[in-house]
Amino acid sequence: MTTRKLAVISAGVRVPSSTRLLADRLTEATVAALRERGVDADVEVVELREHAHEVLDAVLTGFPAPGLRAAVEAVTGADGVIAVTPIFSGSYNGLFKTFFDGLDDGVLAGKPTLIGATGGTGRHSLALEHAVRPLFTYLRSIVVPTAVYAAPEDWAGGADGVAPLDQRIARAAGELAELVAARPAPEVVDPFADPVVSFAELLGGR
C-alpha cells in the first residue's frame, strides 16, 4: 500500500466542538475511501484553537512560533487537506482566515481540498460556496465539488431526508480520496536548499 498524508484543519472555538466533530467524520470517511483505493492515510489534525495566539502573533510579528510552524508544515506538506470552519457572521471565522492569511504564496496550489462548515442554522449553508470556496480558489487549491455543511439538525438525522449528512460526507470523502490517490506525492521544495534559483538566473532577469 502506498501512503498519503492528510492534514485536517479545524477552526472550532468551543471544546468539544461540532466543527471538530464534522472534521473527524470527514477524516474517517476519507481514510476509508482511500483504503478502498489501496492507499494508507497518515492523518495530522491541526486544531487551530490550540494555536490561536500564535496565529495572531504571526500576523503581527511576521514569523510563526515553532508550534504554529509545525502546524503550517503539516498542511503545506500534505497530499490532501480537509478544512472545516464554523460559520460566523455569514463567513468563515476569523481564526480560520487568519491561519490561511499567514501562509506563503502558492503553498496550497494544486492541493486537493475538502471544505466543510458548521453553523447555528441550515440557512448559512451557502457560506461554503460564497465565502470558503473563493478563499481556496484564491489559494489555488483544488476544491472537491461537494462541500459539507452540518446544521444542528443534521446531527439528529431528521433534517434532510434526501441527502443526509452521512451521505454528503461519504460523497465528499470519495471525491477527495479520488484526487489524493491519483496524485503523485508532492515534491516538497525547500527554499533553503541550494541552489533554488542560481544567481546566474537571477542576473539573467528570471
Partner 1 sequence: MQIGVFTVGDVTPDPTDGRTPTEAERIQAMVAIALKAEEIGLDVFATGEHHNPPFVPSSPTTLLGYVAARTERLLLSTATTLITTNDPVKIAEDYAMLQHLSGGRVDLMLGRGNTGPVYPWFGQDIRDGLALAVENYALLRRLWREDVVDWEGRFRTPLQGFTATPRPLDGVPPFVWHASIRSPEIAEQAAYYGDGFFHNNIFWDAGHVRRMVQLYRRRFEHYGHGPADTAIVGLGGQFFMRRNSQDAVREFRPYFDNAPVYGHGPSLEDFSTLTALTVGSPQQVIDKTLSFREVAGDYQRQLFLVDHAGLPLKTVLEQLDLFGEEVLPELRREYAASKPAHVPDAPTHESLKAAAVAREEVPA
Nearer to partner 1, 1 or 194 (CB): 194
| Using rule CB under 8 A, residue 65 touches partner 1 | yes
Contact 100/138 with Cβ under 8 angstroms?
A: no
Contact 163/52 with Cβ under 8 angstroms?
A: no
Contact 102/53 with Cβ under 8 angstroms?
A: no
Shortest distance, position 204 Cβ to partner 1, whole Å: 9
| Using rule CB under 8 A, residue 60 touches partner 1 | yes
3 state DSSP class of 65: coil
3 state DSSP class of 105: coil
Residue 69 vs residues 1, 103, 119, 176: alpha-carbon distances, Å = 30, 10, 29, 25
Nearer to partner 1, 24 or 57 (CB): 57
Candidate list 13, 45, 56, 103; residue touching partner 1; CB under 8 A: 56
Judged by CB under 8 A, the stretch of 13-21, 28-36, 59-67, 161-169 that binds partner 1 is 59-67
| Using rule CB under 8 A, residue 62 touches partner 1 | yes
Return residues touching partner 1 (CB under 8 A): 53, 56-57, 60-63, 65-66, 191-192, 194-199, 202-203, 205
